[in-house]
């Protein structure tokens, strides 16, 4: 649920340079209303209503880059997805000032329970088929192996006692990455962070928050879903069918790719804990992911 801000509260949180880029707020015109949007443990997002419509302003935290976010890549891939109506319209992005403005989509975020509903998963798979069919723009390369190694190296440097565990996990990741590479699937735009809060159900499914998006193996999006939501596992074949990947990937391959994203998620949470305070829910998620990785 959004939390409405007073004018003074908005002024304290939102830089004027960002507010003035929102349609209807040019020339220091005041918006009709501003509300804090829920979700997001790194960045902060606001709904801003103006005479020109409703928009989302997202302020990007610099800490996101440490955890793998790439906003330059995000802008290009979000814009491409928006043209195919898979993402909301991107209005403006400022990489230096670290903010983005999107058109607000009136809809309901998915719930975790939706990932245990095959009809919903088939609908999401069809959305991913549309996404993966987009001709991707040229963007910075995405190297999942390098990202995993970077997270592991940083953790080993900070927590030497965890070296043996992390090296064992990385050995398993190497085998899974090799399996994905041998499949030879054509790289496509992948969202790479399909948590329920990033799925908005309106007249269609819109994907939001593209900061981890990349051009990579399309199986990564399905692997991300199964990594985040084990309840979707029984419907892996239906996801492959709906996403148009059944001819190019088996459920066994998808399971190995899923393990990569379980590991990536664990390393993300573990490394995030080194950057500052985290919630009890995030600590619980980290423990659960490690249990899934343990033999």
Strand bridging mode 90-94 / 44-50 = unpaired
**Same-domain check for residues 116 and 245:** yes
**Same-domain check for residues 67 and 172:** no
**Same-domain check for residues 51 and 128:** no
Q: What is the pLDDT of residue 6?
A: 65
Report the sign of the C-alpha dihedral through residues 284, 69, 85, 188, in that order. Answer: negative
Query: Residues for the chain: how many in total?
Result: 295
Sheet containing 205-207: give its strands across: 108-109, 199-201, 205-207
Q: What is the pLDDT of residue 215?
A: 97
- Structural domain that includes position 69: 3-103
Based on the structure, what is the number of domains in the chain? 2
Q: What is the pLDDT of residue 11?
A: 61
From 51, 79, 103, give the residue that closes a domain: 103
Q: What is the pLDDT of residue 62?
A: 83
Neighbouring residues of 267: CB distance < 8 A, sequence distance ≥ 6? 148, 151, 152, 155
From 53, 68, 103, give the residue that closes a domain: 103
CATH number of the CATH domain containing 26 = 3.30.200.20
**Same-domain check for residues 153 and 186:** yes
CATH number of the CATH domain containing 141 = 3.90.1200.10
Q: What is the pLDDT along the chain (295 residues), one digit of tens a residue?
A: 556 666 556 667 889 999 999 999 998 898 999 999 987 668 899 999 999 999 999 999 887 887 788 999 999 999 999 999 999 999 999 999 999 999 999 999 999 999 999 999 999 999 999 999 999 999 999 999 999 999 999 999 999 999 999 999 999 999 999 999 999 999 999 999 999 999 999 999 999 999 999 999 999 999 999 999 999 999 999 999 999 999 999 999 999 999 999 999 999 999 988 877 788 988 999 999 999 998 6
Q: Which residues of 224-250 are buried (b: 16+ CB within 10 A; e: fewer)?
A: bbbbbbeebbebbebbbbbbbbeebbe
**Same-domain check for residues 126 and 212:** yes
| Angle in degrees, 0-180, between the axes of helices 251-275 and 219-228, rounded to the nearest 10 | 60
pTM: 0.91
**Same-domain check for residues 209 and 90:** no
From 45, 76, 103, give the residue that closes a domain: 103
**Same-domain check for residues 21 and 49:** yes
**Same-domain check for residues 210 and 121:** yes
**Same-domain check for residues 74 and 133:** no
Name the residue among 92, 131, 156, 140 with its Cα closest to residue 218: 131
Q: What is the pLDDT of residue 134?
A: 98
**Same-domain check for residues 94 and 15:** yes
Q: How far is CA 292 from the centre of its chain?
A: 21
Torsion on CA atoms 122, 125, 126, 131, rounded to nearest 10 = 170
Name the residue among 213, 188, 253, 172 with its Cα closest to residue 87: 213
């Amino acid at each position: 649920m959004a939390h409405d801000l007073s004018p003074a509260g908005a002024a304290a949180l939102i830089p004027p340079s960002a507010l003035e880029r929102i349609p209807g707020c040019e020339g220091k015109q005041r918006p009709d209303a501003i509300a804090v949007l829920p979700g997001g443990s790194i960045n902060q997002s606001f709904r801003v209503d103006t005479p020109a419509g409703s928009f989302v302003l997202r302020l990007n935290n610099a800490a996101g880059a440490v955890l793998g976010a790439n906003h330059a890549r995000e802008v290009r891939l979000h814009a491409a997805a928006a043209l195919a109506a898979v993402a909301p319209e991107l209005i403006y992005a400022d990489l230096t000032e670290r903010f983005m403005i999107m058109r607000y989509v009136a809809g309901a975020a998915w719930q975790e329970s939706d990932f245990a509903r095959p009809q919903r998963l088939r609908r999401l798979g069809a959305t991913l088929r549309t996404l993966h069919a987009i001709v991707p723009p040229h963007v910075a390369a995405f190297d999942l192996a390098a990202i995993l190694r970077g997270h592991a190296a940083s953790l080993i440097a900070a927590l030497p006692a965890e070296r043996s565990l992390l090296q064992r996990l990385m050995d398993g990741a190497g085998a899974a990455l090799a399996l994905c590479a041998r499949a030879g699937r054509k790289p496509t735009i992948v969202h790479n962070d399909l948590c329920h809060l990033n799925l908005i159900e309106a007249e269609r499914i819109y994907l939001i928050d593209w900061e981890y998006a990349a051009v990579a193996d399309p199986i990564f999006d399905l692997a991300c879903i199964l990594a985040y939501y084990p309840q979707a596992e029984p419907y892996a074949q239906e996801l492959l069918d709906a996403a148009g990947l059944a001819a190019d990937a088996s459920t066994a391959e998808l399971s190995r790719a899923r393990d990569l994203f379980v590991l990536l998620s664990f390393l993300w949470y573990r490394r995030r804990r080194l950057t500052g305070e985290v919630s009890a829910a995030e600590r619980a998620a980290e423990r659960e992911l490690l249990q899934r990785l343990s033999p």
